[in-house]
């Protein structure tokens, strides 16, 4: 039965070597790197990697890396189906929850919800909302607004009569500002942590 070759670990060793030296290793260097006693043992994995397109042999018999190894950030698309890919490569293309939830960090604030007027929109008392200041709300946005001196969180809307605020709870009715309306911010995300 042919010996199994751990290609993923060989690849990360080769990438590290290229990163360090800027060139492809010789057969004897690879033997040392892979922990083989003889140069001869290297031919197996090398032939496999050539077949997979990670290495190519040059006219002078030396080995050269292809872009699959030299590319600065390994492209995830080039990994062939069923081929184990080292987990750390995938980490290069992730966003943190912070980045996912906050698009304008300078203008974003936390607010704890205490009322129930938006409960049908899935925002309950005790939830945290991420509020963005400084933008202009579009109809349908959930806004934090001060209406005739009272702070509230509602859907923002506009019609011929002007601006109105709609709750997401049948207990409450649509409100229109009598004297003043100022928008404190637009709700961009809701966070609820179960403990």
Partner 1 sequence: MSKNLSFPGLSSGPAPLMLSSFPRAILHVDGDAFFTSVEQALHPKLRGRPVVTGKERGIIACASYEAKARGVKRGISLWDARKMCPDLVVLPSDYESYSLFSKRMFEIMRRFTPEVEEYSIDEGFADITGMRGVFRRSYEEIAQAMQAAIHHELDLTVSVGLSLSKSLSKIASDFRKPRGFTPVAGRHIHIFLGRIPLADVWGLGPNRVNLLQEFGLRTAWDYVCLPLEWVDKLLHKPGAEIWHELRGTAVLPVNTQAWHPKASISKSKTFSSPSADRKFIRAKLIRNLESAFIKLRRHSLRAGELSVALRLKDYRESGLCARLARAATTASEVSSIAAGMFQQLYIPGACYRATTVVLGRIESDMTRQYELFEDPGKTERIRRMGSAIDDINRMCGKHTIFLGSGLHLKAGAGGDNGRNEPCWRQGHLLEGETRRKRIGIPRLEIVV
Q: Which of residues 128-187 bind partner 1 (CB under 8 A)?
A: 128, 130-131, 133-134, 144, 146, 151-153, 184
Among the candidate windows 41-49, 83-91, 125-133, 171-179, which touches partner 1 by CB under 8 A? Answer: 125-133
39 is catalytic: no
What is the size of the binding site for partner 1 (CB under 8 A)? 27
- How near is the Cβ of 10 to partner 1 at its closest, in Å? 38
Question: Of 167, 128, 116, 120, whose CA–CA distance to 145 is shortest?
Answer: 167
Runs of H (alpha helix) within the chain: 7-21, 27-34, 43-52, 67-70, 87-91, 97-101
CB of 109 to partner 1, least distance (A): 5
Active site residue 133: no
- Selecting among 51, 96, 114, 117, the annotated active-site residue is 117
Burial class of 113 by CB neighbour count within 10 A (0 to 12, 13 to 18, 19+): buried
Ramachandran class of 166: left when φ > 0, alpha when ψ lies in -120 to 50, beta otherwise: beta
DSSP 98: H
CB of 143 to partner 1, least distance (A): 10
Binding status of residue 27 toward partner 1 by CB under 8 A: no
Could you give the residue numbers annotated as active site?
117, 154
């Amino acid at each position: 039965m042919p010996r199994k070759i751990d290609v993923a670990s060989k690849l990360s060793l080769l990438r590290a070597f290229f990163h360090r030296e800027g060139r492809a290793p010789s057969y004897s260097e690879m033997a040392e790197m892979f922990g083989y006693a003889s140069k001869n043992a290297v031919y197996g994995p090398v032939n496999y990697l050539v077949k997979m397109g990670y290495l190519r042999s040059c006219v002078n018999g030396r080995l050269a890396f292809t872009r699959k190894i030299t590319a600065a950030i390994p492209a995830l698309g080039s990994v062939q189906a069923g081929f184990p890919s080292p987990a750390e490569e995938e980490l290069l293309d992730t966003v943190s929850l912070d980045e996912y939830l906050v698009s304008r960090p300078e203008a974003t604030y936390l607010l704890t919800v205490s009322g129930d007027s938006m409960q049908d929109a899935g925002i309950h008392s005790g939830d945290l909302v991420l509020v963005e200041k400084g933008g202009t709300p579009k109809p349908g946005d959930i806004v934090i607004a001060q209406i005739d001196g009272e702070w509230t969180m509602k859907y923002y809307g506009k019609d011929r009569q002007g601006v109105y605020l709609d709750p997401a709870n049948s207990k409450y009715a649509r409100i229109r500002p009598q004297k003043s309306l100022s928008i404190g911010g637009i709700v961009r995300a809701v966070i609820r942590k179960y403990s």
